[in-house]
Structures are given as C-alpha cells and as structure tokens.
Structure 1
Amino acid sequence: MRKKQLNTMKVFRFKRFARKSYSVFNSLHKRVTIGVLSGCALINAHAAAVEPAERTHTQTTTDSIPLTELDEVVVTASKVDLPLNLAAKQVTVISRQEIERAPVRGIEDLLNYVAGVDILQRGPHGVQADISLRGGSFDQTAILLNGVNLTNPHTGHYTFNIPVNLSDIERVEIVQGPSSLVYGASAFSGGVNIITRKDTESNGFAKLEGGMHGLFGAEARGAYKTDGSLHSLSAGYKRSDGYIANSEYDIANLLWQSRFNLQNTLLDIQAGYNRKAYGANTFYSPSFPNQHDDTQGMFASIRGETGGKLKFIPHIYWSRHHDEYQLIRQGTPDVPDWYKGHNYHRSDVFGMNLAMRYASRWGITGFGGEFRNEGILSSVLGKPLEDTFGKYTHSDNRTNISYFLEHNFIFNHFTLSIGGLMNHNTAVVNKFDLYPALNASYRPSRSLTIYASWNKATRMPTFTDLYYRAGDHVGNDLLRPEYIQSLEAGMKYRNRFLGGSVTGYLNHGQNLIDWEYSDDDKKWHAVNLPENEKLKTYGVETSVSLHLSEIFPSAQPFRSLQIGYVYLTQDYDSRKEVNNPVSMYVRNYLKHKFTANLTHRIGRNLSVSWNFRWQERAGSYMRYVNAEKDERVDFSPFSLLDVKAGYKFPRVELFVNANNIFNTTHVDFGNIPQPGFWLSGGASMRF
C-alpha cells in the first residue's frame, strides 16, 4: 500500500511540475518544450497507469469508478498504448466494477450491454456468439487476450473459445472501426482486447452458483507474489441441461500467468486451455436440429518489455484449436445414407513480433514487424493431402508478414498520430499493401476531447469461407481479400459528475465477403460483393454516464446511470435494391440499439444493478418449421431486462441473477430461439 501511495504522489507531482514548466517555458520555446514535456508525461503515464488500473479492482465495495482513474488507464488503441484521454478513436472500456455488477456468465453476455457491440448468440453463457462491430461480420472482429491475437482462421464462430473466467478480467477494451495498424490485418471493423488482472499481492478467490435448467458454475483463482515475480492460476467450470432440446453445455477453463521483473525488464508468460462440448440445435443449418460441437483450445505466449528511452517489446505466441463437428449428433436414429461421418478440424497459429518504442522531443514513435502463420488440418477444409494424417485428409497454410510505423506528436492540447501497416499474405501472390492510419485529437479543456480519424484495413477469408462444402453451404476458394476505409469524428466529455460521447462514422467496404442464399439451387454460397459495389455504412454512437453518488448526497440510494444508443444504416446500389438476396452477414446488421444501466443500493450492503437493452435488426432470414423451409421473414425488434442483486459481507458476496425478466421471445440469429426467463444465484469469497 505504501508503494502505491508513493507512486500516486509521484504521478501527481510530475503532473504539477509539467504544468508549471509549460507556463514558464511557453514564451521561449513553445513547440519544442511542449513536445519534450508531453513525451515525458506520456512515458510516466504509461509507467504509472498500471497501479491506478489495479487500484480499481480492489475497491469492490464501490458502485462507481472515478473518472480520473479511468482516464489514466493505458489502452491499446494505438501502437504506443496511449492513456484513454489521449486516444483519438472510439474506445469503450468495461471496468472491473462493471463486470462484477453484471448478471452474466460469459464475456459474450457481458458485451451485450455495450451499445456499440452487436452480439449474435447461438448459445448463451459463453457457448457461442458472433461478435460484430459497426455493421461488420463476426469474422471481421479481432479478439485478443492481453494483446495476443487469438482470432481463429478456421472460423470466427470459435474465436471466443478462450480460457478466461469473468473473475480473471481486469477490464475489456473495445476499439471501434478499422484497426489493422493496432491489432493486425484481421481487425477489419475493430477489436476486443481482454486484459486480465495483474495482482499486487497474494490472494485467492472462489465462486459457486446454480440455477434453472440444471445450471451449475464454479470458479477458483489464486495469486502468489514474491519479491521479483507474480504467479496466478485460475480454473472454471460451468454446465447446464439446456433451455430447449439439444442445448446443454459443459465448459471448462484453465489459465496460468506469470510476471517476472528482471532488472527493469518485464517478462510475461501465460498459457491456457479451454474445452467446450454442447448441443448445437440448428446452429449452422436449420435443417438439422441435432447438431453437436466438441472443441478444445489452447495457447501460450511469452512477452518481454525493456525499460529506458528506447523500449524493445518482443512477443512470441502459439494457439491451437481442435473441433469435432457433428452435423447429425452421435446416437441420432435413422441417419441418412449420404452422411459419411463427422467433421474434424485442427487449426494452428504461430506468431512472433517485435515492437520498438522511442521517446524523443518530437513525441513517441512505434515501429516493428510481425510474422504470423495460420494453418489447418481437416477432414473437409483445405486442399487434399497426398497422405492422410489420422482423420485429416485436407490442409491449407498461409503466412502473414507485416511491418508497421507510427509516430505520435503529443502537445499540450493536441495529439496527432500518423502511421501505416505494410502487409503481405502468401495466399495473395506478389502483393504488398499499405494500410494507413491518421488520428488526431484536440483538448480545449481538461474535460473535453474532440477527435477525428481515417483508417484502412483488410481481411483474408477464413478457411470455412474458402472450402466448406456440406449440406446447403458452398464455399468458394476463389474469394479475394476484403478491404475497408473509414472516416470517423466525435467528441468526449468527462468530469467528476458526467461522462458522455458522440461519434459519427462512414465505412466504405470493397470486395466484402458474404454468404448469400440462391433460389436456383436452394443453397448458401460464399461470395465477394461485386467490385463495382462499394458498400457504404453510416453510423452514429452516443453515450451518457451520470455518477449520481457524486451529484447527490450520499444518503440517496442511486449510484450511477449509463445510457447508450447506436444507429446504423447501409447504402445499397440499385442492383441490390431490386434483387436484395437473403444475406447471412453483410445485410444482417443491427440498425438500432439502446442500452441503459442503473445501479442503486438498498440499505448499506445490498446493491442492485438493472440492465435494459432494446434492439432492432435489419435484414431477414429464411424461417424453418419442423426443419423445413417455410418463408422469408424480417427480424423483429425486442427488449430485455436483466437484474443482479448482491449482498456484501467483508469477504463474502451473495448474489442473485434474473435474466430476461419478462420472458421475451427473441432470436439473435434466425431460427435459433434464445432463452426466456432464467434465475440463478450463488456466493463468492475473497481471501
């Protein structure tokens, strides 16, 4: 605790010194001095922001997050990890307190409460969900764990098969819009970076819960600290009998993390294992309600970071994902003769990158490169193998090579970031492409930030897009990469009582990949939109946060109110207005979404969090009745209300979750009904 106080005082004294120095030197060497002081301020903010971020998760009895702490959190919205208040992009941070208050059992459920995130759930509680940002598809969103890109090249359906429990998470950062420079070529419409806890002392945590539909969950986590290292191990398990036929699930997670402080050099090692087995009722084809999925994912990474004016940040990572997909579940009677067996897949990703950061009188420069290899072994996906390998008869492999450069000019009221990613993928012969990024922000006051950005990005088709041919789905091995450029402008306001933002953007997509339904052969086909059709997507995002405990006396029960709204629309050309095919992804987007969260107390120790969302989806789907095609229907809007009540003792919390209180009938993805009312409860303990 003493160390935290000293570091906090250092940050405070430095900021005071920087302000005084600026006023003294401004008249002499304005531009030079501001650059030096701002560069030093950023370095100190980067070094000191760790403890304010850690400080938030220890304050588990509070209901609101001080905005000063939130602003000091360093976010991965650029290659040099700027503090949140300097980020010139729309970045949403879900804090530790917000996670603890949410009536959820998985990260996917948690993201549902963010207005700017579109969740297409096939199964709840982390079974499977497609994550989309700004009208993009689930394959266009990069998913990272502590900066490790775990995006699955097989299919984005499995990208969230990562070994993380809710109790492991310190915060979630959501970067909206094309982010290839930040997260790599796969961050077509944005990225989600899950940041795990970095404990400051030895501790432990345990949680048990149960509920309707045979729900059971357990989590355990322990951290051990030595003089020069910190180690943590967590495990989690959850299961349910399912809310409809063939919707049961079993999910297990195991995560190990170690941090070593070696003479002004940090070394982070992490490894994890995830196992999911679940009934996949109509998940991929409504014609087959008895589908089943059994998946295993594992990963490991080593990351270093040196100190000093020039920082070296090497990173090596590996991930593997196994999948046994049963279109017709084992044990189903009367299996048709044409069904020859289940599908087996193994995807592997190996990557290494080196980033360097240099602080000078002109700002902060980041530069480096990355090598990333993606491969698959499969019984159906890829090119035929000369010699079979177990159950695998097909394979494919590709390598992505990229180089990046970014410089941040940081002045007293102004930040300008200029950079680009040079990218080559071996699947596209003899082609290097440049994806530039230009981001600027202006801070007329400490509370107000005005920003604008222009970014370009790309994405390679997944192996499923290229090769999947089964049932009524036909892949296309001639698919080309898709491209996007985006213009964005907005403003953010924060003070002790109020936070708010408004953002407008225009996305311009080319060669977009979609699955479209053909009336000719009654099948879904993977296609690129025609080259002359550059789909335009327009959107507006707004949010307001009121810290009611700061505005009104502490005697009143209300603590915080958060509201968010997103509007999105697309611009079709005349050809599509006439034909308008049934689209699985591109034209299936969230047109309106409104979210609201209210937190209040009942007495001293009982807190209640209400979470409401209303959404309306554009597009349509082919409705099936008794596994047979019926008619094409539009998505219907719906609203849901979830609530969590928690009673806290010094080390123990008792909680009750009530999801979908009004038992609303709804679908996120056509033909897959989502759960109605679901009640659960449990207890957690910290020690």
Structure 2
Amino acid sequence: MYNNNSNKKQGAIVFKHFGRKGYSLFACLGREVLVGVLSVATLQHASAGSVSVRQVTADTIATKTDREMTLDEVTISGSKAPLTRAQAARMVTVLERADIQAAPVQSVNDLLKYAASVDVRQRGPIGAQTDVSIRGGNSEQITILLNGINICDPQTGHNVFDFPVDISEIERIEVLEGPAGRVYGTSSLLGAINIITSPRKETSASAHVEGGSYGYLSAGAWGNIAHDKWSNQVSGSYTRSDGFTRNSAGGLNGDYSGGKAFYQGSYDDDDVRVNWHAGISTKDYGSNTFYGAKWDDQFEHTLKTFTAIQAETKKGKIHLKPSIYWNHSNDRFELYRDDEQKVPFNYHRTDIFGVNLNSYFDWTLGRTAVSAELRNEDYVSSKLGEPLNNPKPIHGTNRTYAYGINRTNVSFVLEHNILLERFTLSAGLVATKNSWSDMAMKVYPGVDASYRIGDDVKLFASYNTSLRMPSYTELYYSIGGHVADKNLKPEEVNAIEGGVKYAAHGIAAQASVYRNNWKNMIDWIRHTSDGPDAPWESVNFTEVKATGWEAQLSMDFKQLLPGQTVLKHINVSYNYLFQSKDIDNDIQSKYSLEYLRHKFVSNLQLNIIDRLALGINFRWQERRGTYTDYDGEVKNYSPYSIVDARLCWSAPRYNIYVEVNNLFDTEYIDYGCVPQPGTWLIGGVSIDI
C-alpha cells in the first residue's frame, strides 16, 4: 500500500468483476480464498493482505455480483516501485495461503510442479534436493527470495530450497517470469520466486501432523503473539522418511530427516513498518546416485541460517525501504556414506552479507524508483576455489578449509513508471559491477507496457535483459569425473514477450509468446563418443535461442452453473518450448539443454458434500535430452503423466485430509537415472487455535 504525494491527483483505475477472474499461472490448483465476505478463486498478481475487504452493500450488489471488487489498491511486485494491479505492466503470479494449504504436496518444490512454465527436477522425496527452473533455464538462473531477501547460494543452486519455514506457515508465493534484474537483482536471469511469511495480525496458533508411505512422518506448529503495533511469531517442524529406494547392499539411500525453526516479528505504526526474521534449516538425506551412477550410497548434510531486518517509511515525498541481511550455509557431501577412508568428505561454507536501499517518489510525470545494493559472497571449501593463504579449521574435524573465493557485487537500479488510465509504461535499467575477474560495470535495460481494452481484456508486452555470475561449483568443481573452467564468462540474456488476457463471467484465459536469447550460456556437457567415463565439463555455449508459448484457461462453475453444488473449478494450462541451439549428436547436456518441450497441467475441484472436497491434479510432460543409465547406455527421457489427489474434510477449527501422489504408480525419471517414487499415500490433521 502506498500514499501518492504528488500535487496532481491521479485518477483511480478500477477493474470490475475481480472475483470472477482466475488469473493465475497456478490456476490449476483451483482453490478458494475467503477475503472478507467474498469468495475469490485462485489469484494471480494480487495479495490477499492488501485487498480491500469493505463490505458488499445492497447498492453495490445493484451494479455488481457478490464476487466483484475493485483492484485499484492491490499492490504487487512486478516492478521496482510499488504499483497496483491495475497499473502494473508486468505479469506477476501470486499463490495465496489457502491454495498452498489445499494442494496435495509436502514442499514448495512439489507445489511448483503444477505451474506449466516451471520445470521441477526432483532427485529425492519431500524436496530433499530439487532443481527448479523457469522457461527452459536451469536452477542457477532464477532468484529465490525469503520475504524479499535473496537467499541464493553462490556455491550451487541445488540446495536453494532449504527454507527455514514449514509450508504451512507460508503466507503467499510470488512468481515473476522472465529477466527480473530491475526488481530482484541480476542473478534473476529468467525469473524469481519470492516466499512470503508475514506474521499474523492476531494472537493465534496452529499445529499439524501427518504420516504415510515409506516411513514418512511430519509434524509442526507455530504460535503468534500480537499486541497493539507489535507481532512476534515462532514456528518449528520436523520431517523424516526412510525413502523409496535402497542401495545395492540393501541399505537406505533415499532416506531423509530435517528440521526447521523460524522467528519473525514486526512493528507497524502510521509512520513506519519494520520486519525482521531469523531461521535455521537442517537436512540429512541419502543422495542415492545424485552425482554419479557408480555410487549408490552417497549422503549429504546441509545446515542454513537466515537473518534479516527490513524497514519501510509510510509518509513523506520520498519513500525509503532499507534492509540488511546475513545468510550462512554449511554443506558436507559424502561420496560413501559414513566412510571417509574411501573418499574424504567435501566440506563447504558460505557467508553472504547484503545491504540495500530502495526508494521511490511521485511527481508530475509518474513514479520514479532508485535503489542500490551491496552483496558480499564469501566461500571456503575443502576442495573448491583458489588456495587460501590462511586455511580455516572445519568445526568438529581435524581438517581445514584450504580453498575459497570472495566476491562483491554492487548494483544500482533506476526505473520510471508512466501511469495513465488504460496504459502503463515501466522502463529502467540495472547497472552492476562484480569484483570477480575484475568485471567492468555493465548496464542492462528493460521496458514493460500494458494496455487495457474495456474491463475484460488486457494486452501486455515486455523487453528485458540481465546477467548471471557463474556459481562456484561451475568454476571449480573438478572432482569425480567433472572438469570445471574457472575462466567462465557471465551468462547474459535478452527476452521479449507479448500476450493477452481475458477474464469475465466465470471464464479466465491467457496466452503469451516469448523468446529468450542467451549469450555465453553455462552448462555441464560430456562427449558420449568418449565412452561412459567421459568427464562432465563446464562450458560457455556461444548462443542459445529459445521460443515458447503458453496458454491457460480457468472456468468457475459456481458462476457458470450456479444451480449445482458439486462442480467448483476446472483449470488447464500448457507450455511449449523449443531451443534452437545446434549441438553434435555425441554431446550430452546435464541441465540447460535438457528442457521440457511440452508440459500440460490441469486441475478439477469437486465439492462431494457440505464439508468434503476432492481435488484431482493431472500433469503430462515431455523432456528433451538424454541421460546415461547404470549400464552406460545413453537414453532419451520418456514422456510421462502423473495424477495426484486430495480428499479433505474441513471444519472451522480443524482439517482432516488424505493425499495420494502418483495415484497410478507411474514409473518416471526427472533427472539422470534417479527413479522417482511410485504411489505415495499420506494422511494428516491440522488444528487452528
């Protein structure tokens, strides 16, 4: 929410029929959110926390249905300056709390599988290790944020989804597709995912417990104390499983155990809002054959801590939003579980310190935003990096961190927004300089535009550019059949997109076309003609071009067929992608050139009886690329389809539910030769106090 302090008052821009609109990349979830007295379907580009909840009066009903509301005060994150949903020229997907809690998933990683343009390549259960990418990229090319703070680890993108919060505590998830350097920094080469966990406004508590197949057990609770302008919330959770696979000796190799603890607080008055958080996440999991088919008893332990404090002024001509943060990470990898005599364990430690200042002001010609960020990434390792002059001891061992690297990134953003009644133009640039390899200051521009036709149709288009620094693993991981290149160049991308959206009378539809042009794209490749022992090499591809299109359709049967009570929603979405990079037949790509050519997702929501609801999710996908199996044979990925379902009995203070993932026990592979779980049954209960 913001105050407009310009001398010239801008006219309010109002969208009608909001409650009817299923705008959402996540519309396939089809859940309902209750906002005040209104029932709102799965939302896109809006936050329930900022939606006006004024009561619907008889006069209002005379011109609108009870599912309509104005949107001129809903703030979103599609630009550096805060803009309302009606003003925004960039498309931002928002998944609300009710949608998250109602999905048949146990992690954010699983939740994102239902997004047509998001590729989730899972190596283990319950999100043990998952690579998440957007529009044909890889897991290194998106930015992951916790409450707006960048929590990406420059060591590797494999473990970035080690959140300190349980999925039940997440308030909402925002997804921005395409280069987002002006909004979230230059590491967001193809998009960003922001996990938001605002503390409650009232004193409350909640607990949940669930269990199921393969020794799965999860339990967690949170409690919040709110008084006057203050709010303090604490949560904790624990999850474990024996896993669904075994090694050649019959022992566990896909097992998992992990705990999370999180504290967040806020102070909010008429002049300023301050938020702070501190959290810890720890995981131990069998790594199966994650890093090589020869070793089926790998193991990994990760520990991460997160701290941040943010403030935001509410009055004055210039609005300020400073923040400071520290993210810490420890990683221990064991090629042979519990056996350091065969191969010494790999130890890694990362400390990231950051400070940024965002500001914006209104004037006659629109809204201007200016921001700056300083981010230092310090990394030490037992294996990777440059030799250290003063090795550092590894806690709990007699070994030392003998290698490391330190780099600092400085960036500045300038953005201006022209806001007219039906037209919005948002243009700006990000200038960045990194101390690594003495990189010079580089500038990356971008522009977004949208035009609203009537109340139901909106046209949008954008052009954006960004870059990404290589991860430390890409630069230095010359271990176990890998050969890294420490002279890799940063990746660069420019992307264009255009599309149209329609929503009215219970039907919402969207279609868009996009094209990404990469320069110096980074990937790990191997030459299969050199045999099964050919090394994986980190390389810069010269150029890679990707063209894609996606379409979504959502129908709300409560509006289309108001006389019936069984059908609630049906939603379908599809994404197609084609990459034009020409490579030799004997080149096998590990990440970027293995992409989803087709992905189709759908969801049907049914109301069986008064309190009993059934949700059925379906997804089908076909991946381009190859992998090498246990016998050294190169194989193509096979297309597959998965059905998930959730049956839930809802009461005012509790929910009882049963979930089944992979209902028809489909055999499939997302990455390499690591098999994925068959049918997985889970039952649970949650209680609100």
TM-score normalised by the chain length of structure 2: 0.88
- For residue 302 of structure 1, what is the aligned residue in structure 2? 309
Q: 1:38–1:363: 8 Å Cα contact kept in structure 2? A: no
Q: Tell whether the 8 Å contact from 2:121 to 2:132 is kept in structure 1 after alignment.
A: yes
CA distance in 2, matches of 1:430, 1:647: 57
| Closer, same or farther: CA 129–224 of 1 in aligned 2, 3 Å | same
Partner of 1:312: 320
User: C-alpha offsets along residues 193-242 of structure 1, whole Å, 9 cap, x if unaligned?
Assistant: 11124422111111010111111011101111111111111111111011
Alignment-mate amino acid for residue 317 of structure 1: Y
Q: In the aligned structure 2, how far is the partner of 1:39 from the partner of 1:421?
A: 30
2:336 aligns to what? 328
The amino acid across from 1:64 in the alignment is A
| Matched letter for residue 351 of structure 1 | G
Structure 1: how far apart are the matches of 2:90 and 2:321? 23
**Structure 1 612/60 Cα, relative in aligned 2: closer, same or farther at 3 Å?**
farther
Give SS of 1:213's match. helix
Q: Which residue among 394, 397, 404 is the counterpart of 2:403? A: 394
How do 1:80-119 and structure 2 match up within 5 A?
80-119=81-120
Partner SS state of residue 512, structure 1: strand
The one-letter code matched in structure 2 to 1:149 is N
2:671 counterpart residue number: 669
**Structure richer in helix, relative to its length:** 1
Residues 12 and 72 of structure 2 are in contact (CA less than 8 Å); yes or no, is this contact kept in structure 1?
no
Instruction: Give 2:630's aligned amino acid.
Output: Y
Q: Which residue of 2 aligns with 1:19?
A: none
Cα deviation, 1:127-149, whole Å, max 9, x if unaligned, reads: 11101101111100100011000
**Offset of residue 496 of structure 1:** 4.8
Q: Quick one: which of 597, 611, 616 aligns to 1:605?
A: 611
The correspondence of residues 145-160 of structure 1 with structure 2, limited to 5 A, is: 145-160=146-161
Alignment of 1:332-411 (within 5 A): 336=342, 339=343, 341-390=344-393, 391-411=400-420
What residue number does 1:193 align with? 194
Residues 1:566 and 2:569 aligned together: no
Of residues 447, 459, 462 in structure 2, which corresponds to 1:450? 459
- Aligned partner of 1:541 among 550, 554, 560: 550
Aligned-residue offset at 1:68: 4.6
Instruction: Go from structure 1 to structure 2 and tell me whether the alpha carbon gap of 1:214 and 1:150 turns closer, same or farther (over 3 Å shift).
Output: same
From 64, 68, 71, the equivalent of 2:41 is 64
Q: Deviations over 1:139-194 (max 9, x none)?
A: 00100011000011000001111112111112111111111111101100111011
CA distance in 2, matches of 1:192, 1:295: 21
Shift of 1:447: 2.1
In the TM superposition, residue 495 of structure 1 has moved relative to its aligned partner by: 2.9
For the aligned residues, what is the CA RMSD?
Answer: 2.4
> Residues 428 and 445 of structure 2 are in contact (CA less than 8 Å); yes or no, is this contact kept in structure 1?
yes
Number of the residue aligned with 2:144: 143
Does 2:439 correspond to 1:414? no
Paired with 1:69 and 1:682, the residues of 2 have a C-alpha distance of 37
2:661 equivalent to 1:659: yes
Q: Deviations over 1:84-107 (max 9, x none)?
A: 343323322222222122110000
- Counterpart amino acid of 2:327? S
Relative distance call for 1:57 and 1:264 in structure 2 (3 A) is: farther
The 3 A distance-change label for structure 1 pair 597 and 294 is: same
Provide the aligned length of Structure 1 versus Structure 2.
633
Q: What's the CA shift for 1:375?
A: 1.3
Does residue 489 (structure 1) correspond to residue 492 (structure 2)? The answer is no
Structure 1 segment 464-613 matched on structure 2, within 5 A: 464-518=473-527, 519-520=529-530, 522-530=534-542, 534-553=543-562, 555-573=564-582, 576=583, 578-579=584-585, 581-613=587-619
So what's the TM-score if we normalise by structure 1?
A: 0.88
- Structure 2 equivalent of residue 650 of structure 1: 652
1:466 Cα shift? 0.5
C-alpha distance in structure 2 between counterparts of 1:358 and 1:61, whole Å: 33
**Per-residue deviation at 1:555?**
3.5
Counterpart secondary structure, 2:349? strand
Q: 1:254 aligns with which of 261, 277, 281?
A: 261
Q: Secondary structure in 2 aligned to 1:287? A: coil
Question: Residue 412 of structure 2 aligns to which amino acid in structure 1?
Answer: Y
**CA 1:556 to 1:251, structure 2 compared with 1: closer, same or farther past 3 Å?**
same
The CA distance in 2 between the partners of 1:511 and 1:111, in whole Å, is 28
- On the 8 A contact 1:36/1:363 being kept in 2, the answer is no
Deviation of the 1:645 alpha carbon: 0.6
- Once residues 184 and 367 of structure 1 are traced to their aligned partners in structure 2, the CA distance between those partners, rounded to angstroms, is 13
8 A Cα contact 2:662 2:678, kept in partner: yes
Contact 1:36 1:362 in 2 (8 A): no
Counterpart Cα distance in 1 of 2:401 and 2:484: 19
Structure 2 gap ranges (5+) = 16-31, 43-66, 247-252, 394-399
The one-character-per-residue Cα deviations of 1:359-408 (angstroms, maximum 9, x if unpaired) are: 12222111020000111111011111123211311110000000000011
Measure the CA separation in 2 of the matches of 1:479 and 1:215: 42
Q: Is the 8 A contact 1:57 1:96 kept in 2?
A: no
- Give the one of 266, 279, 282 matched to 2:286: 279
The separation in 1 between residues aligned to 2:212 and 2:323, in whole angstroms, is 42
Tell me the CA shift for residue 281 of structure 1: 0.2
Q: What letter corresponds to residue 310 of structure 1 in structure 2?
A: I
Q: Which amino acid aligns with 1:318?
A: W
For residues 536-567 of structure 1, the C-alpha deviation after alignment (integer angstroms, 9 at most, x for no partner) is: 10000111111111222254211111111000
Q: For 1:469, what is the secondary structure of its paired residue? A: coil
String of CA shifts for 1:549-598, please: whole Å, max 9, x gaps. Answer: 1222254211111111000001124xx2x445101112100110000011
- Which moved further from structure 2: 294-303 or 255-264? 255-264
Query: SS at the partner of 1:621?
Result: strand
Residue 615 of structure 1 aligns to which amino acid in structure 2? Q
- Cα distance change on mapping 1:67 and 1:685 into 2, 3 Å: farther
- Conservation of the 8 A alpha-carbon contact between 1:39 and 1:410: no
**Structure 2 Cα separation of the partners of residues 558 and 170 of structure 1:** 27
Aligned residue type for 1:270: H
SS of residue paired to 1:373 = strand
Could you tell me whether the CA contact under 8 Å between 1:461 and 1:480 is conserved in 2? Answer: yes
Letter aligned with residue 675 of structure 1: P
Q: Equivalent residue for 1:22?
A: none
Deviation at 1:686, TM superposition (A): 0.6
Pair 1:268-2:299 in alignment: no
8 Å Cα contact 1:506/1:537 also seen in 2: yes
Question: Which stretch of structure 1 is more off in the superposition, 521-530 or 595-604?
Answer: 521-530
Summarize the Cα distance change of 1:269–1:75 in structure 2 as closer, same or farther, 3 Å threshold: same
Deviation at 1:289, TM superposition (A): 0.9
Cα contact 2:277–2:308 (8 A) shared by 1: yes
Aligned-partner Cα distance in 2 for 1:528–1:668: 24
Q: Could you say what secondary structure the match of 1:668 adopts?
A: strand
In structure 1, runs of 5+ residues without a counterpart are 1-6, 15-31, 43-54
* Deviation sequence 1:215-274 (CA, Å, 0-9, x none): 101110111111111111111111101111210101211111111024410010111110
1:203 corresponding residue in structure 2: 204
User: 2:591 matched to 1:618?
Assistant: no
Asked if the contact 1:222–1:232 (Cα under 8 Å) also holds between the matched residues in 2, the reply is yes
* Alignment-mate amino acid for residue 601 of structure 1: N
Is 2:634 the counterpart of 1:632?
Answer: yes
Aligned to 1:215: 216
Q: CA deviation at 1:622?
A: 1.4
Q: Deviations over 1:649-678 (max 9, x none)?
A: 221110000110000000110111000000
Q: Which residue of 2 aligns with 1:177?
A: 178
Taking the aligned partners of 1:244 and 1:597, their CA distance within structure 2 comes to 29
Task: Give the secondary structure class of the aligned counterpart of 2:10.
Answer: helix
The sequence identity of aligned pairs, in percent, is 37
Contact 2:13 2:86 in 1 (8 A): no
